[in-house]
Amino acid sequence: MITRSDIRNIAIVAHVDHGKTTLVDSLLDQSGIFHSNQQVQERVMDNNDLEREKGITILSKNTAVNFNDTKINIVDTPGHADFGGEVERILKMVDGILLVVDAFEGPMPQTKFVLTKALELDLKPVVVVNKIDRPEARSEEVVDEILDLFIELGADDDQIEFPVVYASALEGYAQSELDESSDDLTPLFESIVEHIPAPRGEKDAPLQTVVTTIEYNDYVGRMALGKVNRGQISEGEEVAICKNDDSIEYKKVSKLYTYQGLDRAEVEEAEVGDIVAIAGMEDINIGETIADKENPEPLSFINIEEPTVSVNFRATDSPFAGQEGDYVTSRQLKDRLLTELEKNVALKVEEIDADTFKVSGRGELHLAILMETMRREGYEFQVSKPEVIIKEEDGQKLEPIKEAVVDVPKDFMGTVIEELGKRKGEMQSMESLSQTRMRLFFEVPARGLIGFRSQFLTKTKGEGILTHTFSHFGPYQGEFEKTSTGSIVADRAGEVTRYGIFTAQERGDIFVKPGAKAYEGMIVGSNSRDQDLDINICKQKKLDNMRASGSDEAMVLTPVTELSLEDALEYISNDELVEITPENIRLRKEILDKKKRVKANKRD
């Protein structure tokens, strides 16, 4: 058994927007990996277009920095609850975590989630209280709250004695005590080296590396990432792959890499404790073990928590089908979804029939990111309303329950409590954040939060902050009051006109602009009443009589309500679909023909 004192393997974990990725930026910058004249973008680890647009980390990233004689392998993980599957598997290849907590907000739902997973794996935590330069920072109170969370989660005596570093990731400094001063992150580097355990293992024992991530490189193809748990691995070596179905395959290591800064460095061999990327593993999957050819022994893989929300994907059958996408058939859709399963371990895909696939994930955002990614790749498809997954145990109906945290001005407290109460939400506790803001803690059925975000923002005039994470499966809460609106539906195909919008806008919010193409059954707006309304959105103004010059220009149109993909998924009802193409996101009735729709509703 050897101890690799020259290496530390850590994951940076936190609630969304508590500063993980910014902290990694500063660690990279101060480790000297960038040239003095190198231009480096902010949040350099979020290199995915969607991540940069949404300001969140979606995929875990590997990097490495050097501090004195120690190499620190760092994994930046997602902070949003829907990407918890990424966090769970990444924790398998580190020996400790940096738990980053906002100095004002304190521990939040995802803080609890990631800490629970880390404590289960007996990982050593270093707590980083970040954003201590915020005017409203309450760093000492936040440390007490973190201690309470450790105790609540059943941490042992050793885990409760966690070291604390106070930092401003944005300004690039850290300090061991609040009353100290510092102009760099040296105290954080020192705390990592001192408190995170060095990896230990048997260098001369048979190889074992569990695959935690799959990456693709244009030059070497598919690569398996993981930590060498035991033994050594060399470039050109033949290894055994212990498959998830208990079979064994043999592959040759064509290239072997470790990490240095933002780049991979090719090496001839690696040993216990190293985090490596291995090329030559074309059909390897996450959770499988790369092992010694003569003694193939698989490692156990972490159990990924089950999905809570599902959506039906199907090939588009609207009148505009095949006009805007490169991949439009059911076969292409199926192949793409099955490919996603290879790297998205928290996802499940079930074939309902030849044209419909039930895709289950950890939340609406988890599924929406997949849809947006496919859309940008040129896929054209349509999806149903997200539904929570109900299961039965011992004859009892169970549904996913979420822990929701609401930060809201005091003036809106009553409204939020009332609205979540309608959705079977139960308030667990509350605390004062300042003279004007409160934090409310709820347990809410997951189905009660589908479609709630936009209403929540409206009710709180955009000042409320709502976060939630999966808590547990609990008894089904029964039906709850729904404040639904109807849809404004185009009754014919054509081009949307200014006059058509003008005559329709008094009925509700309009989703389409003049000049847009519409088809019968396409949803063009939201009715202020609770029933659907079929209208001619392509109506032309009659030319029977003389008109005053410029009368068309005199028609004042209310600004169009533009729906994002997430907004569209929240809006639609059970008899409606979202049509997704590389160029457009449209809403439609599942049954386009009005007469057939009326007959179907009568049967129901």
C-alpha closest to that of 210 among 233, 193, 192: 233
Query: Where is the binding site, in residues?
Result: 17-22, 130-133
**CA 410 distance to own-chain centroid:** 30
Q: Report yes or no: 511 and 587 within 8 Å, Cβ to Cβ.
A: yes
- Give the H or E element holding residue 147: helix 139-152
**d(Cα 244, Cα 416) in Å, to the nearest integer?**
46
CA distances to 308, 574, 579 from 387, rounded to whole Å, are 9, 9, 17
Q: What's the alpha-carbon Rg for the chain, to the nearest Å? A: 27
Torsions phi, psi of 566, nearest 5?
Answer: -65, -40
- Name residue 427's amino acid: M
**d(Cα 188, Cα 488) in Å, to the nearest integer?**
57
Q: Report yes or no: 8 and 96 within 8 Å, Cβ to Cβ.
A: yes
Query: Where is the binding site for GTP, in residues?
Result: 17-22, 130-133
C-alpha closest to that of 364 among 561, 567, 511, 60: 567
- Give the H or E element holding residue 18: none
213-217 and 221-230: which strand pairing? antiparallel
Q: Report yes or no: 510 and 558 within 8 Å, Cβ to Cβ.
A: yes
C-alpha closest to that of 45 among 88, 81, 5, 78: 78
- Give the H or E element holding residue 8: strand 7-14
Q: Which residues pair with 473 in a beta bridge?
A: 400
Q: Which residues of 129-156 are buried (b: 16+ CB within 10 A; e: fewer)?
A: bbbbeeeebbbeebbebbbebbeeeebe
**d(Cα 127, Cα 107) in Å, to the nearest integer?**
11
C-alpha closest to that of 214 among 272, 281, 146: 281
